[in-house]
A and B are shown apart, each in its own frame.
Chain A
Amino acid sequence: MVAIMWIILFLVSLPSFGQKTENFYNVDQEIRIEGKIQNIVMEPRYKDKSPFLIVTLEEKDTKKLYTVEISPAGFFDQDFHKGEHLAVTGSLTSSGEMENNIIAREVQSRGETFILRDKHGFPTWRGGKGLMGRKGKRKGKRF
């Protein structure tokens, strides 16, 4: 029974092969900011995609507020809190209602670097599987 369900899942997913997604990340608009987290929410950003972890960051020097898109899986992977210090590198995509929006490529916090996209802006996160230890760097030792 379980095998049949998985096979059905395999078949129904085939029609989406070759689908293109929109390109949002602009490498020419890449900036780096540092600041304190002011707000954390999870909200939908793209059609047919999981909701993103969204962090509102107050820039250290200018006190300007930026909205930072982390990743869909980031909600479960990262335990950010209001008041924590973050350094974010990403693409500034201000347009319409989304003023000062940054699509994060790299986030630094508490001495750790989280790579979310490659230098061209392609995502490198892996679903939500950080929860099961499938995501992230392997230490190479099972204790």
Chain B
Amino acid sequence: MRKYGFLILILLAVQTTLLADSFSLSFSQNMTNNLFQNRFAERDQLSNLSFYMDKNFSRLSLFAEGKYSYLFENSNLAYYIQDAGLDYIFPVDEKSAFYFSAAGRGMFYRSEYSDFNYFSANFFAAFKSYLNQTSILKSNYSMDYKNYRDSVFDFISHSVMVSFDKYFQSKTTLKGEVDWGYKYFSSPYIYDEVLPVETNPSSMGGKGKGNAHGSNPNVYLIESQSEGQGIQVFSLSGLIAQGLGSKIGLRLTGMKQWVLSGQNPFFFIEEFYMVENPTYDRFSWEGHQLGSQLALLLPWNIQLKLGYTVSQKEFPGIESLDLEENLLGITRKDKRKQIDVRAEKNFPRFSVFASYFYIHNSSNDIYFDWSGHFFAVGIEWNIPLGGK
């Protein structure tokens, strides 16, 4: 399976390179004082180099995208992602259309993190229809399958979304959205005892300060039975957007998510800055999130976005620990505040951006009581290969 997957990715990458209609290169430099997002903040810098290309055949297009990410202090976490796939737009009439895509991904980490290497397949189908000139109905279905080197993380997930929006003459848009998702871990299992952690200061959160939390896959103990385990989530979202001409936009968003059945099969859950962690995704929590964003077009056509987000998340099945790793008998619950600023300037052939995030996360698991600053600057260069 993996051999075929790799072959397909290589073929598609070569194919798309030869035929590309569009090609773009991007580079970003990212800095943070808390790479592993925990109380033992660790500084690092990440350099990302990525490319994107596609080729269109009537309503069908092939695409390939690759990204290499290098970490200066934690070089063992460096990784390469290769995506390739195809998509297709099928118009029903002048107001409605279907969209389908099928894609594969290979994720390759260096050394200790290689247990998180995976191949994945994704199928996505969407439908959009203008019910009238001021109302849009959208729905989509997504299927994801990930096959990790360490099979305890293997899963298949299904998601369905339906949304409806309405634009009013006051230049206000209201939008409501309903999401349902199911994620099935195909082979989680119990370790009879805690596996010894091969602490490597260069790859462990908190530099191996005596806590089992970290980036080594062996420390994500599974507390499930040997057969598969599923998690089912359901969420409601709302959006209010207000336009003030073409240069100012304001939006408020809210989301509430429930776990309908199942729970996380992991011992704990982590998020890393710009490095994917298989224990965390939209299925791992329930709670709510509120956000606001102001978008401005400044002189010299500079685009500025200011955002503020608060969230409260509970992680079913995840018990909080103290710093000595004693179970506290309570489910982990996090409250997060985030401020973000992003400025972008588009030039004729390339665009540049600078962004800054500040996050404060408070948790009843003291290890995840943390705050962090995240800076990024980047450039994207578009190289036309097709016709006008």
Q: Residues of A at under 8 Å CB distance from B? A: 2-3, 6-7, 9-10, 13-14, 16-17, 20-25, 34, 39-43, 48-51, 72-73, 75-76, 79, 81-87, 106, 108-113, 115, 117-129, 131-132, 134, 137-143
Question: What 3 A-B pairs come out closest when comparing CB atoms?
Answer: A122-B384, A21-B387, A110-B249
Q: Are B165 and A79 in contact (CB under 8 A)?
A: yes
Q: Which residues from B are CB-within-8-Å of A73? A: 89
Q: Are A110 and B243 in contact (CB under 8 A)?
A: yes
Q: Residues of B at under 8 Å CB distance from A? A: 4, 7-8, 11-12, 15, 18-19, 21-22, 24, 26, 28, 30, 48, 52, 54-59, 61-63, 65, 83, 86-87, 89, 91, 94-95, 97, 99, 101, 103, 122, 124, 126, 128, 130, 133-136, 140, 165, 167, 169, 171, 173, 241, 243-250, 271, 273-274, 276, 294-297, 301, 303, 305, 340, 342, 344, 346, 348-349, 351, 353, 355, 357, 374, 376, 378, 380, 382, 384, 386-388
Q: Are A111 and B249 in contact (CB under 8 A)?
A: yes
CB within 8 A of B246: which of A21, A50, A86?
A86
Q: Are A84 and B243 in contact (CB under 8 A)?
A: yes
Q: Are B274 and A140 in contact (CB under 8 A)?
A: yes
Q: A108-B297, A139-B342 are in contact. Are A85 and B246 (CB under 8 A)?
A: yes
CB within 8 A of A10: which of B12, B133, B165, B353?
B12
Measured in the bound complex, the distance between the Cα atoms of B387 and A48 in whole Å is 13
Q: Which residue of A lies closest to B340 (CB)?
A: A139
Q: Which residues from A are CB-within-8-Å of B103? A: 132
In the assembled complex, 22 residue pairs joining A and B whose CB atoms fall closer than 8 Å, in A order, are: A6-B12, A9-B86, A42-B91, A42-B94, A50-B58, A81-B134, A82-B167, A110-B248, A110-B295, A111-B295, A122-B386, A123-B21, A124-B22, A126-B52, A126-B63, A128-B101, A134-B52, A134-B63, A134-B65, A137-B353, A139-B340, A140-B274
- Among A21, A125, A131: residue with most chain B CB under 10 A: A131
Measured in the bound complex, the distance between the Cα atoms of B351 and A140 in whole Å is 15
CB distance from A132 to the nearest CB of B (A): 6
- Among A2, A86, A115, A127: residue with most chain B CB under 10 A: A127
CB distance from B346 to the nearest CB of A (A): 5
Q: Which residue of A lies closest to B103 (CB)?
A: A132
Report the number of A-B residue pairs with Cβ-Cβ less than 8 Å. 220
Q: A3-B8, A21-B388 are in contact. Are A118 and B348 (CB under 8 A)?
A: yes
CB within 8 A of B388: which of A16, A25, A142?
A25
Q: A22-B388, A85-B171 are in contact. List 16 more A-B contacts (CB 8 A).
A: A23-B388, A39-B133, A41-B94, A81-B167, A81-B173, A109-B246, A120-B348, A120-B384, A123-B388, A125-B22, A127-B61, A131-B124, A134-B63, A138-B28, A141-B357, A141-B376
Q: Which residue of B lies closest to A89 (CB)?
A: B301
Q: Which residue of B lies closest to A17 (CB)?
A: B19
Q: A6-B12, A10-B12 are in contact. Are A129 and B133 (CB under 8 A)?
A: no
**SS class of chain B's interface: helix, strand, loop or mixed?**
strand
Q: Are A111 and B63 in contact (CB under 8 A)?
A: no
CB distance from B40 to the nearest CB of A (A): 20
CB distance from A76 to the nearest CB of B (A): 5
Measured in the bound complex, the distance between the Cα atoms of B348 and A84 in whole Å is 26
Measured in the bound complex, the distance between the Cα atoms of B26 and A75 in whole Å is 25
Q: Are B297 and A49 in contact (CB under 8 A)?
A: no
CB within 8 A of A119: which of B18, B301, B348?
B348
Q: Which residues from B are CB-within-8-Å of A39? A: 133
Q: Are A132 and B274 in contact (CB under 8 A)?
A: no
Q: Are A76 and B21 in contact (CB under 8 A)?
A: no
Measured in the bound complex, the distance between the Cα atoms of B303 and A119 in whole Å is 18
Q: Which residues from A are CB-within-8-Å of B12? A: 6, 10
CB within 8 A of A132: which of B59, B124, B386?
B124
Q: Which residue of B lies closest to A13 (CB)?
A: B57
Q: Are B91 and A142 in contact (CB under 8 A)?
A: no
Q: Are A110 and B241 in contact (CB under 8 A)?
A: yes
Q: Are A3 and B4 in contact (CB under 8 A)?
A: yes
Q: Which residue of A lies closest to B28 (CB)?
A: A140
Q: Which residues from A are CB-within-8-Å of B91? A: 42, 50-51
Q: A40-B133, A76-B99, A131-B101 are in contact. Are A13 and B62 (CB under 8 A)?
A: yes
Q: Are B386 and A76 in contact (CB under 8 A)?
A: no
Measured in the bound complex, the distance between the Cα atoms of B223 and A41 in whole Å is 53
Q: Are B136 and A81 in contact (CB under 8 A)?
A: yes
CB within 8 A of B97: which of A6, A76, A85?
A76
Q: Which residue of B lies closest to A91 (CB)?
A: B388
Measured in the bound complex, the distance between the Cα atoms of B243 and A85 in whole Å is 8
Measured in the bound complex, the distance between the Cα atoms of B8 and A9 in whole Å is 11
